[in-house]
Amino acid sequence: MGVRVFLVCAAVAVMAVASAGARPVATPGVSSDEIHIGSSVPLSGEAAIAGNVARGIDAYFKYVNDKGGVLGRKLKYTYLDDGYDPGRAVNNTIRLIQQEQVFAVFSSLGTNNNLAVRKLLNDAKVPQLYVSSGATTFGRDYKKYPWTIGYIPPYSEEGEIYGRYVVKNIKTAKVAVLYQNDDYGRDLVAGLKRGLGAKAKSIVASVGYDPTSSDVQPQVTQLKASKANVLMVFAFGKFSLQAFNAVSRLGWKPQIFVNDVSSASSLMAIVPQKAANGSISIVFGKDPASPQWAKDKGIKLFQSILRKYGNGTNSRDLKDGYFTAGMATAYTLVNTLKKAGKNPTRQSVMNAATHLTERGNPFVLPGIVIRTTPASRYPITQVRLQRWSKGAWRTFGKLVSAKPG
């Protein structure tokens, strides 16, 4: 069965469940004492490390439950492994809606995976909350998909920030780009070109790879042959690791920019440091591995929650930014549920999600305001730049805007 036919069948199945025998009064996933939330995330495969986002969410929800829950209701959280595969994400999402009867699907991870289930969820009028992807479409196309909203900074604006930095700081730049050939990678490339402006011709080589590829080191070798002095690593998971490994093996010494979702310290610490040193990325969340946050109240809260509520937590986890990112998103969801009222409905939670002004999220950088309106569905649009040096990220400069024009 082709993917398109499978998705159509899946949508029909979900709609049938949503309409046949529906209970007009009860809200699925909400009882007198519980709100059931679901996610589809990679707990296995090349993107498995990002599954720690869901584990961070799980720990934070347990912490909230111990403090009384949300307006008297405890949060139940079911997250299923999709191995970063869109077909499995569809199966998981159908299960979450049909069998688990979740109130909302929350922080599912991956651009292609979220695209695969977006129509299905919108047809069934199930909130697709705070998508764990910065693909511009999740904020831009709200008129067609009103039940969907993103969370992290949009990739297009991230790419633009890198382009502006190159123009301002690197003379005679010759830019090579490794990118994942989907909406995730293409958004970053489009933003990069916009940021370079009149100097977009300084891109001397650009190579895309399929997310199902096994290795991108041949592509990096091809990019080196362009004699570029700047390398954009717009790659995820194992592909980012492979890119750094190839740069090191080839003895190439470009100025590297690595996109946010692959910049976790837990990843950067295991690549060859002679290639990693000096790399630049953006950041919006506090990095528990960075010395600058060692005494921060938010990071201390994160670590205390993870120690108590994380399953099998080790010392490495306490410095893993994927866990922190999960808690940041969970913090926002809890605020959203409170804003949705004592008797939340799927419509009231979407109203709340599109009327946010959240200040003081303890897990994001000081000064960041998480803000949305019905016509502006990019919750986080402020970031800082950071540079990898001596085994840690260090922020520099002021907050900059990552808000789509």
- In this structure, the answer to whether residues 94 and 22 fall within a common structural domain is yes
Same structural domain, 115 and 180: no
**Where would I find the beta strands (DSSP E) of 224-348?**
230-234, 255-258, 280-283
Please state, rounded to an integer, the average pLDDT across all residues of the chain.
Answer: 93
pTM (predicted TM-score):
0.89
> H/E/C letters for each residue in 70-98?
ECCEEEEEEEEECCCCHHHHHHHHHHHHH
Check whether residue 49 and residue 142 sit in a common domain: yes
Last residue of a domain, one of 257, 283, 309: 283
Task: Report which residue type is found at 340.
Answer: A
Whether the Cβ atoms of residue 352 and residue 339 lie closer than 8 Å to each other:
yes
Domain contains 401: no
Answer yes or no: is pLDDT of 118 > 70. Answer: yes
The predicted model gives 73-83 an average pLDDT of 98
Looking at this protein, which amino acid is placed at residue 235?
A
- What ranges in 52-182 are assigned the alpha helix state H? 52-66, 86-98, 111-123, 137-140, 155-169
The token pair at 76 is 């139940």
Q: What is the CATH number of the domain that holds 171?
A: 3.40.50.2300
Q: Which two three-digit tokens encode residue 121? A: 């969820």
**250 and 324 co-located in one domain:** no
Handedness of CA 277, 266, 104, 334 (dihedral sign): negative
Instruction: Flag whether pLDDT at 24 surpasses 70.
Output: no
Residue 6 has pLDDT above 80, yes or no: no
- pLDDT score for 237: 81
**pLDDT per residue as tens digits for the range 251-278:** 999 999 999 999 989 889 999 999 999 9
Same domain, 339 and 360: yes
Share of the chain above pLDDT 90, in %: 87
pLDDT value at 17 more than 80: no
Q: What is the pLDDT of residue 46?
A: 80
The answer to whether residues 99 and 61 belong to one domain is: yes
The pLDDT value recorded for residue 26 is: 84
With a CB cutoff of 8 Å and minimum separation 6, the contacts of 91 are: 82
The pLDDT of 180-184, averaged and rounded, is 92
Rounded distance between C-alpha atoms, residue 327 and residue 262, angstroms:
18
Task: Please tell me the total count of domains within the chain.
Answer: 2
A 10 A CB-CB count for 260 gives 21
